[in-house]
């Protein structure tokens, strides 16, 4: 039984990742690496994965903050807000996106749905082709897994791939990541 599910999950992740174009990856990396400061937002399981990406960005030397943390400063013009939302409809993230735009920040959305409320407000939309059943439980899904599992799994792997690309492009020494790793754990 385990082997069947193992094969299912890995096949679905590989299929989703294979549908992502190099051009969209290059645009996403430019959105990550060009701004002065990066703000990360997400909710639920996707939010936890976005926080994990914020950790990697910090370890690579970026000035990065997680929206909602008590030490997160004010977002300003020319900052980048990166929102992770499978549905693109999470109400609190819609409000955060709207406020960031009013303050002059750029917004990049990582989502399953190009046609969503947050997508309509974002400067850039990166679609992970891993539809789940959360938005419309009767909708056709690319996955046999429940809810947004495939999106979240693919998001995690994608962010790890982005980390490798950025490390390579910026010639970041891996030792530097360890030097910035939390040491008060």
Taking only the tens place, the pLDDT of each residue in 31-76 is 999 878 999 999 999 999 999 999 999 999 999 999 999 999 999 9
10 Å Cβ neighbour count for 43? 19
Closest CA to 42 of 4, 80, 2, 96: 96
Is the pTM here over 0.95, yes or no? no
pLDDT at site 131: 75
Q: Write down the H helix ranges in 19-148.
A: 22-33, 44-59, 91-102, 117-121
**Around 131, how many Cα atoms within 13 Å sit in the side-chain half-sphere?**
12
Q: Which residue in the list 12, 69, 152, 185 is annotated as catalytic?
A: 152
Measured CA to CA in angstroms, residue 10 lies from 4, 13, 116, 144 at distances of 10, 5, 28, 12
Supply 17's token pair.
């990742």
10 Å Cβ neighbour count for 141? 19
Mark whether 115 is an active-site residue.
no
- CA 44/CA 92 separation, integer angstroms: 11
Cβ–Cβ under 8 Å, residues 3 and 9: no
**pLDDT tens-place string over residues 105-125:** 999 999 999 999 999 999 999
Give domain limits for the chain: 2-180
Residue 3 pLDDT > 90: no
- CA 101/CA 99 separation, integer angstroms: 5
Question: Taking residues 87-92, what's their average pLDDT?
Answer: 94
Higher pLDDT: 134 or 83? It is: 83
> Looking at domain 2-180, which of 1.20.1050.140, 3.40.190.290, 3.40.50.10490, 3.10.450.50 is its CATH number?
3.40.50.10490
Q: Tokens 């992740």 identify what position?
A: 13
């Amino acid at each position: 039984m385990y082997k069947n599910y193992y094969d299912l999950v890995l096949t679905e992740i590989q299929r989703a990742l294979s549908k992502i174009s190099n051009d969209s990856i290059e645009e996403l990396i430019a959105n990550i690496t060009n701004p002065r400061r990066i703000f990360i937002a997400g909710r639920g399981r996707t939010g936890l994965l976005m926080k994990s990406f914020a950790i990697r960005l910090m370890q690579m030397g970026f000035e990065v903050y997680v929206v909602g943390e008590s030490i997160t400063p004010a977002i300003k013009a020319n900052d980048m807000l990166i929102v992770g939302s499978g549905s693109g409809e999470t109400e609190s993230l819609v409000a955060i996106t709207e406020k960031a735009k009013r303050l002059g920040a750029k917004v990049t959305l990582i989502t399953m749905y190009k046609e969503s409320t947050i997508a309509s407000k974002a400067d850039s939309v990166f679609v992970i082709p891993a539809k789940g059943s959360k938005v419309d439980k009767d909708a056709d899904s690319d996955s046999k897994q429940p809810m947004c599992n495939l999106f979240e799994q693919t998001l995690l792997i994608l962010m790890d791939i982005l980390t490798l690309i950025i490390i390579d492009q910026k010639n970041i020494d891996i030792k530097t990541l360890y030097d910035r790793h939390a040491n008060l754990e």
